[in-house]
Amino acid sequence: MEPETREPTVYLNGDYLPASRAGISVFDQGFLLGDGVFDVVSAWQGNIFKLQQHVARFFDSLQAAHLQTRLTPEQWSEAIVETARRNQLADASIRFIVTRGVPEQMVADPRVHTPTEVIWAAPYIFLGDEQQRKSGIRLMVSQLRGFAPDTLDPRYKCLSRMHFQLAKVEACAAGYDDLIWLNNDGFVAEGPASNLFMVRNGVLYTPASDILHGITRQTFLELAERAGVPVRIQQFTVYDLCTADEVFTCSTAGGALPVREISGRTLRQPAPGPITRELDQLYWNSRVDGEHATAIGL
């Protein structure tokens, strides 16, 4: 059977099952409360990028959320590769999730739980379509602020994403392609699925705090160093963004996505700018060259 028509295989609590049989309970805390953490890695041409770094971030989320798992980081890595392999996907987005599972009593001590563990793989997901990748997206600054570190630290990669959905509803209704929000001090933070960079006078800037520590953001920082582009990790505002030479978002879902407009202000230079283009090219070269790669073995 062709890969496109075959039913996907899902990892669930130690078993590899056809998706139609990979069901979880309606009493699962992940479903009832959004109580769980996850991560997403991607594969390109048969190689998963920075798998160890993603699994390490996942284990930080688990630790901070007081969530248990039956598997070691190495076993998670093996199961992630195996899920991609069984789905025969050379270009894939692979999501792995731990929830607090089904409690023995409805009002339970959240520390005591049997986790639900899931891995599924989909064909590679790009956040932007071809046209948006070529000529940039329209980005809205949301009226919603990001979570403060003393409520839900943005470094948790957690399932509770109602907030993000509300911001997306707002952006879609206003006709924008994507959005970013500010932190509670009014500085630029990030988007619902991406981090943010801007270029001013040849210098690359990215927010310092109140963000998920994106693996792609870290990769672009490393590539900027390699390319000799000076980097500043610091707070900045919407004013800085609107007057920047280049702005782009970045994520595991496609690398850099150039921005051409921010809440009604068209940037002065056409997107993508030269530094965005150069860094994105280096990113994809690095992936095609098999840097930081774990082979799926297809």
Ligand X SMILES: Cc1ncc(COP(=O)(O)O)c(C=O)c1O
HSE, CB side, 13 Å, CA atoms: give it for residue 216.
26
Q: Give least dist CB 14 to ligand X, A.
A: 26
Crossing angle of the two packed helices 51-64 and 73-86, in degrees rounded to 10: 120
Cis bond leading into 207, ω under 30°?
no
Task: Among 167, 215, 221, 296, indicate the residue that binds ligand X (CB under 6 A).
Answer: 215
Coil, helix or strand for 97?
Answer: strand
Q: Give least dist CB 212 to ligand X, A.
A: 4
Task: Among 252, 276, 286, 294, indicate the residue that binds ligand X (CB under 6 A).
Answer: 252
Is residue 247 within 8 Å of 139, Cβ to Cβ? yes
Using CB under 6 A as the binding rule, whether residue 127 contacts ligand X is answered as no
CB atoms within 10 A of CB 57: 20
Q: Give least dist CB 104 to ligand X, A.
A: 31
Q: Give least dist CB 39 to ligand X, A.
A: 8
d(CA 150, CA 4): 44
With contacts defined by CB under 6 A, name the span among 110-118, 137-145, 185-193, 288-296 that binds ligand X: 185-193
With contacts defined by CB under 6 A, name the span among 89-97, 168-176, 192-200, 231-239 that binds ligand X: 192-200
Taking the least distance from each CB to ligand X, the nearer of 113 and 176 is 176
Crossing angle of the two packed helices 215-227 and 274-288, in degrees rounded to 10: 110
- Helix H, strand E, coil C: the string for 230-247 is CEEECCCCHHHHHCCCEE
Taking the least distance from each CB to ligand X, the nearer of 117 and 178 is 178
d(CA 1, CA 6): 6
Q: Give least dist CB 38 to ligand X, A.
A: 9
Q: Footprint of ligand X on residues 1-60 (CB under 6 A)?
A: 40
Taking the least distance from each CB to ligand X, the nearer of 11 and 147 is 147
Taking the least distance from each CB to ligand X, the nearer of 177 and 190 is 190
Question: Can you give the binding site for ligand X, defined by CB under 6 A?
Answer: 40, 190, 192-195, 212, 214-217, 251-252
